[in-house]
A and B are shown apart, each in its own frame.
Chain A
Amino acid sequence: MLLIKNGRLLDPASKTDAALDVLLDGERIAKVGAHLSAPGADLFDAKGLIVAPGFIDLHCHLREPGQEMSETIETGTRAAARGGFTAVCCMPNTQPVNDSASVTRGIVERAAAAGSVRVWPIGAASMGSKGEALAEIAAMKAAGIVAVSDDGKPVATARLMRQVMDYCNALDLPVMDHCEDPSLFAGGVMREGAQSMRLGLAGIPAQSESICAGRDVEIAGLTGARLHIAHMSTRGALEYVRAAKKQGLRVTSEVTPHHFTLTDEDVRYDTHYKMNPPLASREDRDALIAGLADGSVDAIATDHAPHHPASKDVEFDRAPFGITGFETAVALGLSELVHPGKVSLMRLVELFTTGPARVLGLERKIAPGEPADLTIFSDTHEWTFRAAESASKSHNTPFDGRAFRGAPMATIVAGRIAFRR
Chain B
Amino acid sequence: MLQRLPHLLGIETLTSEQITFFLDQSKPFQEFQRHPLKKLATLRGRTVALAFFEPSTRTRISFSTAASRLGADTMQLQAESSSLKKGESLIDTVRTLEAMRPDSIVMRHSSSGAPAFVAERLGVPVVNAGDGTHEHPTQALLDALTIRDRKGTLEGWNITILGDILHSRVARSNIFLLSKFGARITLCGPAMWLPREVESLAPGLRRTSRTEEALEGADVVMVLRVQTERIHEPALAVEDYILGYQLTAKRLQLARPDALVMHPGPMIRGLEIDPSVADGPQSCVLEQVTNGLAVRMALLYHLVSGAAADAPHPTKE
Contact = CB atoms under 8 A, between A and B. Distances in A.
Interface of A: 192-194, 196-202, 269, 310, 313-318
B239 interface: no
A198 B91 contact: no
Contact of B112 (A192, A200, A310): A200
A196 B113 contact: no
Contacts of A202: 133
A199 B112 contact: yes
Interface in B88-128: 89-91, 109, 111-114, 116-117
19 contacts: A192-B197, A194-B197, A197-B166, A197-B201, A198-B12, A198-B201, A200-B133, A200-B134, A200-B169, A200-B172, A201-B112, A202-B133, A269-B113, A269-B117, A314-B89, A314-B91, A315-B111, A315-B114, A317-B112
Contacts of A315: 90, 109, 111, 113-114, 117
Interface in B199-224: 200-201
B271 interface: no
Q: Give the one of A197, A202, A316, A317 with max B CB within 10 A.
A: A197
B198 interface: yes
B164 interface: no
Nearest to B169: A200
Contacts of A196: 197
Given A197-B200, A199-B112, A316-B117, 7 more contacts: A194-B197, A197-B201, A200-B113, A315-B114, A316-B113, A317-B111, A317-B132
A13 B78 CA distance: 64
Interface of B: 12, 89-91, 109, 111-114, 116-117, 131-135, 166, 169, 172, 195, 197-198, 200-201
A193 B200 CA distance: 9
A269 B89 contact: no
B111 A316 contact: yes
A313 B91 contact: yes
B113 A199 contact: yes
B200 A199 contact: no
A197 B197 contact: yes
Nearest to A205: B195
B83 to A, nearest CB: 15
A313 B89 contact: yes
B131 A200 contact: yes
Pairs A-B, 4 closest by C-beta atoms? A200-B134, A269-B113, A194-B200, A315-B111
B119 to A, nearest CB: 10
A197 B198 contact: yes
Contact of B132 (A193, A194, A200): A200
Contacts of A200: 112-113, 131-135, 169, 172
Contacts of A313: 89, 91
Contacts of A316: 111-113, 117
A131 to B, nearest CB: 22
A279 to B, nearest CB: 16
A197 B195 contact: yes
A194 B12 CA distance: 14
Nearest to B119: A269
A310 B198 CA distance: 34
Nearest to A317: B111
Nearest to B166: A197
B180 to A, nearest CB: 15
Contacts of B112: 199-201, 269, 316-317
Contacts of A199: 112-113, 134
A115 B131 CA distance: 45
Nearest to A313: B91
A193 B117 CA distance: 22
A269 B201 CA distance: 17
A314 B90 contact: yes
B109 to A, nearest CB: 7
A191 B132 CA distance: 17
Nearest to B133: A200
A201 B135 CA distance: 11
A197 B195 CA distance: 9
A310 B88 CA distance: 11
A313 B90 CA distance: 9
Chain A CB within 10 Å, residue with most, of B112, B116, B197, B201: B112
B217 to A, nearest CB: 26
A269 B116 contact: yes
Contacts of B200: 194, 197-198
A79 B46 CA distance: 50
Contacts of B113: 199-201, 269, 315-316
A199 B172 CA distance: 9
Contacts of B197: 192-194, 196-197
